[in-house]
Amino acid sequence: MADTVTISAQPDDLALDLTTTALVIIDMQRDFLLPGGFGETLGNDVTQLQRVVGPLVELLAAARRAGMLVIHTREGHLPDLSDCPPAKLNRGAPSKRIGDPGAFGRILIRGEYGHDIIDELTPSDGEVVIDKPGKGAFYATDLGAILAEHGITQLLVTGVTTEVCVHTTTREANDRGYECVVVSDCVGSYFPEFQRVGLEMIAAQGGIFGWTAPSGELIAALT
């Protein structure tokens, strides 16, 4: 594996230093992905997210083989909901809100089965797991400090959902000086239109807050 590779990306090719790049996997949690879970109770089509799993399993395996820093995130809250602002808690129909009983335990509560990451992407020992109360992975977490400690300058951003937590995290990272490649087949939205436009927004205006690229070339570069 070469340390530096140039990948085909939108809006233009990007030189990646694989020694200072991390793979960030956002919120691949059962509550969002499994049939019967929180995402589906909100009326969403979870099959739109499940198509991400196969490519992301491949990219994660390649990143592990290459010894890349891997960071998983989980959106969720403390059991007493003290870290969930009322503006977030009171959103949506009662009985389908954060903290309510769901098919996989209390919805988006740390320690519950549904809050955890799907079996296919279980974090390995030594991989970082960031528990975040917000949509962005930098807000109220140690992510910035962990990336700085490892000398990371570029991020491969993956996970769900494209227009919500992936966008928020990418925007936060871009403002902090990280170059972000959002991996187009490894991010998913419940809404095909948001997936398409969400990816286009990142690369528009000369890459206003990042780049987009499919996983194939990245996996080859990591091998």
Site for ligand TIU, rule CB under 6 A:
27, 75, 135, 160-161, 164-165
Q: Which residue has the tokens 């499940």?
A: 50
- DSSP one-letter string for 185-207: EEEE-SSHHHHHHHHHHHHHHHH
Closer CB to ligand TIU, 25 or 63, in the complex? 25
Catalytic residue list? 27, 132, 165
Distances (CA, A) of 99 to 106, 160, 195: 5, 20, 28
Taking phi first (over 0 means left), then psi (-120 to 50 degrees means alpha), and beta for anything else, what does residue 92 get?
A: left
Q: How many CB atoms lie within 10 A of CB 6?
A: 12
Which residue, 55 or 133, is less far from ligand TIU as judged by CB? Answer: 133
Nearer to ligand TIU, 55 or 62 (CB): 55
Q: Is the peptide bond before 41 cis (omega within 30 degrees of 0)?
A: no
Residue whose C-alpha is closest to residue 216's, from 184, 172, 191: 184
Cβ-based nearer residue to ligand TIU, 21 or 161: 161
CA–CA gap between residue 197 and residue 167 (Å, rounded):
11
Question: Could you tell me if 78 and 189 are in contact, meaning their C-beta atoms sit under 8 angstroms apart?
Answer: no
Q: How many CA atoms lie within 13 Å of 135's alpha carbon, on the beta-carbon side? A: 13
- Closer residue to ligand TIU, CB minimum distance, 161 or 215: 161
